[in-house]
Amino acid sequence: MANILVIDESQRRAVDICTGLIQAGHQVAAVLPSAVDLIARIEEIKPDIILIETESPSRDTLEHIAVMNRAMPRPVVMFAQDGDSGTIRAAVKAGVAAYVVDGFDIARLKPIVEVAIARFEEHQALKRELAEASRKLSERKLIEKAKGILMKTRGLDEEAAYATLRRLAMEKSRPIAEIAANVVEMAKLLL
């Protein structure tokens, strides 16, 4: 059972959405008339999912979603009447996991929420993988730079320079990337 924040400027539609969510086995965390101050409201309400019903998402709404997605990502389901491809692309770029055109339908709610959750989780996993790959690449570049410094200043070959970094890392019980960063920083001071 997901705890869902509903955002809809129409109270009448919001009642229908809440009824549909409850029938689908979800819990309604809160109902808001707009996405203004979304981060503060999410911190306060702590929903699992955000569901937005709108005629067409405004630029402000998409910006609020994008900021929320960077600060505290959540799956976002958006029901809208606007099927323009530019609007859909802007919504997905802002962090909307499921953009459903032609409005809210109780019968389709449960599978749509499930797809949004799955898509969101996959996107988050890809972001983590990318961050890890970027971190490893940065560390590799740092190690290569430190090896170059050791090769130049101590007259070592590449294998001996790496062995020196590895030995220092083991002696200090520190990651080799941290030792490499120290070597690079010291070289900046001394060279």
Contact 46, 72 (CB under 8 A): no
Residue 162 scores a pLDDT above 90: yes
| Domain(s) of CATH 3.40.50.2300: residues in the chain | 3-104
Q: Are 87 and 65 in contact (CB under 8 A)?
A: no
pLDDT tens-digit readout, 55-109: 889 999 999 999 999 989 999 999 998 889 999 999 999 999 999 997 677 778 8
pLDDT at 9: 86
Q: Which CATH class is domain 132-190?
A: mainly alpha
Amino acid 103: pLDDT: 66
> Is there a contact between 50 and 4 (Cβ–Cβ < 8 Å)?
yes
Which distant-in-sequence residues (6+ apart) come within 8 Å of 29 by Cβ? 3, 4, 5, 45, 46, 47
Measured CA to CA in angstroms, residue 104 lies from 67, 88, 89, 142 at distances of 25, 16, 20, 52
Model confidence over 110-146: pLDDT tens digits? 888 889 999 999 999 999 999 999 999 999 999 999 9
**Which three-class secondary structure state does DSSP give residue 34?**
coil
**pTM value surpassing 0.85:** no
CATH of 3-104, one of 3.40.50.2300, 1.20.120.80, 3.40.50.970, 3.40.50.360: 3.40.50.2300
pLDDT at 133 (0 to 100): 97
Kindly report, as residue ranges, where domains of CATH 1.10.10.10 are found in the chain: 132-190
* Res. 31 pLDDT band, cuts 50 70 90: very high
